[in-house]
Structure 1
Amino acid sequence: MAQVLEFKLPDLGEGLTEAEIVRWLVEVGDVVAVDQPVVEVETAKAMVDVPCPYGGVVTARFGAEGTELPVGAPLLTVAVGEPADGRPAGDASPAESAESEGARGGTPATEGSGNVLVGYGTAEAPARRRRVRPPQTAPATPAAPTAPAAPSTPVANGQPRTAQPAAARTRTLGAVDGPVPVISPLVRRLARQNGLDLRELTGSGPEGLILRADVEYALRAAAAQGRTGTTAGEPRTRTDRAGVGAPSPAPAAGTPGVTRVPLKGIRGAVADKLSRSRTEIPDATCWVDADATELMRTRAAMNAAGGPKISVIALLARVCTAALARFPELNSAVDTEAREIVQYGDVHLGFAAQTDRGLVVPVVRDAHTRGAESLTAEFARLTEAARTGTLTPAELTGGTFTLNNYGVFGVDGSTPIINHPEAAMLGVGRIVPKPWVHEGELAVRQVVQLSLTFDHRVCDGGTAGGFLRYVADCVEQPAVLLRTL
């Protein structure tokens, strides 16, 4: 007897709560094997091919290309085995499949394959992820139906079978008493800024958790009804410096000369992270000019000796790890809830990489244990993966300190935003010939500007200045590093 199993979007890692369907790799009616990639999705971190843990016939797909789905939302259903009427499993219609015990949440006869998807299992989500709807306080009047966190419309041959209005996401009756569970403070702030009462929503996350997608859909529904946090028909206003309210309408879509670019995917994730960093971290920046002539000569001598070529960024990374060993306060993060500074013993060094899809920060694991050759090879590997969009979530998370080489853009200095939740970032400008007083005489030397942006909660200026001065000393006199090798 055929059994229809529902495959949901798996947990994609730390901080990844949703993904956008880029391209379906299978059609309804196709036969799929266990762990065959069935859909290509884009998260805020990377492009990922999602494998299906079941083997059988695809009976339904959920969501058209370009649709954003939250983790735990249905991706597709697969018919496993032969139905009782003798028809192949693929002959069952998506509607019939949706009514089967597997689609209704019955216990599947086939477990997930257990293979790994970018560092995460393809097995069935644990029980804690099952949706638990909050109790209704007005049982006499049924609450309005609630749509899933993102469109979960079965699609056959690329065409949606049904459509659900976004307005169905808001619940008008039965507000929940007590605190409202949200996935992050950013979601709460988004609702507050738009005048949305979170108690009117039913979260689609685990145990009713309200996701960002829930708030965004509710805002779209409210906008369609003319009530986006203000009285219907009343224009939104801003207060100028004189305290006088003035209309501030946003340009409508299609206005000549106006282009709207959605903040989603990597660009949206970067925007959220930078905003959070600016909001939470009281940062400060100090900088110093350093004579990098001896560092460049040392690198040239190392490369002339044969073997793999050593990159400048690898030498600077080696300097960073040596400096962090002397000033471990900067290899840390702040736990705001516990009001504690979390200091790390290992250095997982992130570095900013600009790609066609946006800014990403790959992480070199255990950078403090690597030599110059190993660092060079790992920087090259991660940079290439960033350019091709094949970085895994594990390679984009867990950093403890970031090295930002903005000199590749031809600029001398910068005051970068700290990569939240880290405590510091070292910036390196371009290395260029400049007039410099060397041994009491004016000479042309290779000069670089170094800057350190740090979280003032983890250390004071003395520690930050000591760290930056040590880095500059190593750049000017690479032999200083011999003390720590």
Structure 2
Amino acid sequence: MGTHIIKMPDIGEGIVEVELVAWRVQPGDQITEDQIVADVMTDKATVEIPSPVHGKVLALGGEAGQLMAVGSELVRIEVEGDAAAAAPTPAAAPATRAPAPVAAAARPAAPPPASRSPTERAIASPSVRRRAWELGVDIQQVLPSGIGGRVMHEDLEAHAARHGTSSPAQPIAARAAPLAARDGEEAIKIVGLRRKIAQKMAESKRRIPHFTYVEEIDVTELELLRARLNAQHAATRGKLTVLPLLVRAIVNALRDFPQINARLDDEQGVVTRYGAVHLGVAAQTPAGLMVPVLRHAETHDLWSCAAEIARLAEAARSGKATRDELSGSTITLTSLGALGGIMSTPVINHPEVAIVGVNRIVERPMMRQGAVVGRQMMNLSSSFDHRVVDGQHAAEFIQAIRGMLECPATLFVD
């Protein structure tokens, strides 16, 4: 028998070390040629490392979350024959996937389900554990597909489809059980996309002097217009949310505030202003926050804008967004929808200089012409890079958006 060593490949672009995100194999596993053995991540892409040989895994060269140098030993494999090979995996072999801007990093593709020893505690979020309890599924029996062996919601559904569920658990409110103390701790290593998100957020807050401006907007007329458009066209063109109308207002306002549709290279001291509006639309995914890009937002009508936002969000959630779809934004729009609260302090997507945040719409009593009436109100919470955007210009930009949203007919006047 011989030994083959897979070394960390040279991925190019001057990269000297990469992060080991997840193992797809364990010592003792029999593997085949071209089987993926590990996922690694650079600043720009997630890379799958395949095995060039058949054999048995003898040893792994690191732990998930570890930074490994190019050329270091990744996997040691026992192979048939006398010739021992110690060569790096060819640089062209790994398959790269798109980066995930997080504010801008990429989602690693989920590894295939892996077995778990009977004594090893399942790794899962509280919502997944709750769902397993509702289904009557023993989470220890569910094969995980998430990074680091994490059980995902889809793993539960697949397990339930294959094996069925027990009788639904009795609702919590109906149980008459004594309250019990909860003990235990769970240490979760920050690796892969979560590490990239953390690094990107820290970089943005460290390098950018944020200035946040909050303004309330009466969107009653806008909501009436949206309801009318949906009643007339939803069946044939699709349903509109408030986002396409807000995108239209941002695009129109940026014509008078080009310094806000920009990116700052603070190392070179150069601000680049853009004519095209490549709008990043922050999307929450199972793997974390991603920012797919609505390219040339200025060319979209309301329905094509809505359709493209929906397509990009689904591509991000499913991990199918391309590198081009996840990079190159010039300004970002972020919204938590119904969870949007009354205000927020959004973090700028470095190296952009502005981000517009949408808070939820609520009906509140307002004074109009001396009478108290119910109006649909929404706050915009927006942050700006104070090195590039003066406070007055930031306020004027948001007031321009407010004017169009409160009188929606002006959205369609050039």
TM-score normalized by the length of structure 1: 0.57
Please tell me whether residue 118 in structure 1 is matched to residue 97 in structure 2: yes
Cα distance, 1:477 vs. partner?
1.1
Partner residue, 1:446: 376
Once the two structures are superposed, residues 105-158 of structure 1 have per-residue CA deviations (whole angstroms, 9 ceiling, x without a partner) of: 6xx9x9947x973369xxxxxxxxxxxxxxxxxxxxxxxxxxxxxxxxxxxxx9
- 2:208 aligned partner: 281
Deviation at 1:268, TM superposition (A): 2.0
In the TM superposition, 1:187-266 aligns within 5 A as 259-266=186-193
Q: Name the structure 1 match of 2:36.
A: 38
What SS does the aligned partner of 1:298 have? Answer: helix
| Residue among 54, 78, 85 paired with 1:97 | 85
CA 1:347–1:410: 2 relative to 1, 3 Å: closer
Q: Give the counterpart of 1:291 among 211, 215, 218.
A: 218
Counterpart code for 2:290: V
Return the alpha-carbon distance in structure 2 between the equivalents of residues 25 and 38 of structure 1: 12
Contact persistence 1:44–1:264 (CA under 8 A): no
Q: In structure 2, the residue corresponding to 1:326 is in which secondary structure?
A: coil
Contact 1:44 1:267 in 2 (8 A): no
Q: Distance in 2 between matches of 1:10 and 1:408?
A: 45
Q: Which has the larger radius of gyration?
A: 1
- Aligned match of 1:220: none
SS at match of 2:216: strand
Matching residue's letter, 2:48: V
- Contact 1:44/1:269 (<8 A) preserved: no
- Cα distance in 2 between the residues matched to 1:14 and 1:315: 43
The code of the aligned residue for 1:419 comes to N
Cα distance in 1 for residues equivalent to 2:257 and 2:413? 15
Q: What letter is aligned with 1:343?
A: R
- Give the drift of 1:433: 0.7
Distance in 2 (CA, whole Å) between partners of 1:311 and 1:466 is 25
Aligned to 1:308: 238
In structure 1, distance between residues paired with 2:393 and 2:324: 31
Q: What is the aligned partner in structure 1 of residue 366 from structure 2?
A: 436
| Number of the residue aligned with 2:312 | 382
Query: Which of these residues, 394, 399, 407, is aligned with residue 464 of structure 1?
Result: 394
Q: Which amino acid aligns with 1:41?
A: D
Structure 2 Cα separation of the partners of residues 458 and 373 of structure 1: 33
Tell whether the 8 Å contact from 2:44 to 2:98 is kept in structure 1 after alignment.
Answer: no
Q: Alpha carbons of 1:340 and 1:298: their partners in 2 closer, same or farther (altered >3 Å)?
A: same
RCO greater where, 1 or 2, for CA within 8 Å and sep 6 or more? 2
CA distances 1:214-257 after superposition (whole Å, capped 9, x unpaired): xxxxxxxxxxxxxxxxxxxxxxxxxxxxxxxxxxxxxxxxxx86
Alignment partners' CA distance in 2, 1:18 and 1:310: 41
Deviation at 1:264, TM superposition (A): 2.3
Offset at 1:354? Answer: 2.6
Matching of residues 24-63 of structure 1 within 5 Å: 24=25, 30-32=31-33, 38-39=36-37, 41=39, 43=41, 50=48, 52=50, 57=54, 63=61
How far apart in 2 are the matches of 1:117 and 1:68?
A: 19
Q: Does 1:412 align with 2:410?
A: no
Indicate yes or no: 2:15 matched with 1:21. no
Q: Aligned to 2:213, what secondary structure does the other structure show?
A: strand
Contact preservation (8 Å) 2:335, 2:359: yes
Q: Which runs of 5+ in 2 are unaligned?
A: 100-115, 117-182
In structure 2, the residue matched to 1:243 is none
Number of aligned positions between the proteins: 326
Structure 2 residue 410 is matched with structure 1 residue 422: no
Name the SS for the 1:431 alignment partner: strand
Aligned position for 2:165: none
Cα deviations by residue, 1:51-87 (Å, 9 ceiling, x for unpaired): 75x97646878546736454745687899xxxxxxxx
Where do residues 144-159 of structure 1 align in structure 2 (5 Å cutoff)?
none
Cα distance between partner residues in 2 of 1:24 and 1:301: 55
* 8 A contact 2:45–2:97 mirrored in 1: no
Contact 1:26/1:39 (8 A) holds in 2: no
CA contact (8 A) 1:350 1:400 kept: yes
Alignment partners' CA distance in 1, 2:14 and 2:242: 31
Q: In the TM superposition, what is the alpha-carbon distance from 1:282 to its structure 2 partner? A: 1.3
- Could you list the per-position Cα deviations for residues 330-367 of structure 1 after superposition, in whole angstroms to 9, with x for gaps in the alignment? 11122122212122232221222233433332222222
In 2, Cα distance between equivalents of 1:450 and 1:45: 32
Decide whether the 8 Å contact of 1:348 with 1:398 is kept in 2. Answer: yes
TM-score by length of 2: 0.65
Cross-structure match for 2:330: 400
User: Could you tell me how far 1:379 is from its partner in structure 2?
Assistant: 2.0
The yes-or-no answer on 1:369 pairing with 2:369 is no
Change (3 A) 1:340 1:310: same
Paired amino acid for 2:388 = V
One-letter amino acid matched to 2:39: V
Q: Would the alpha carbon gap of residues 90 and 45 (structure 1) be closer, same or farther in structure 2, given more than 3 Å must change?
A: same
CA contact (8 A) 1:10 1:71 kept: no
**1:290–1:449 contact (8 Å) kept in structure 2:** yes
Q: Distance in 2 between matches of 1:292 and 1:26?
A: 60
Instruction: Quote how far apart the aligned CAs of 1:435 are.
Output: 1.4
Distance in 1, Cα, partners of 2:226 & 2:263? 33
Q: Which amino acid aligns with 1:66?
A: A
Q: Secondary structure at the match of 1:262?
A: coil
What residue identity is the alignment partner of 1:270?
A: I
**Paired letter, 1:330:** I
Please state if 1:354 is matched with 2:284.
yes
For residue 64 of structure 2, the aligned residue among 39, 51, 66 is 66
Mapped to 2, the partners of 1:119 and 1:405 lie a distance apart of 23
Specify every segment of 5 or more residues in structure 1 that has no aligned partner in the other structure, as ranges.
Answer: 80-88, 121-157, 159-255
C-alpha separation in 2, matches of 1:399 and 1:13: 22
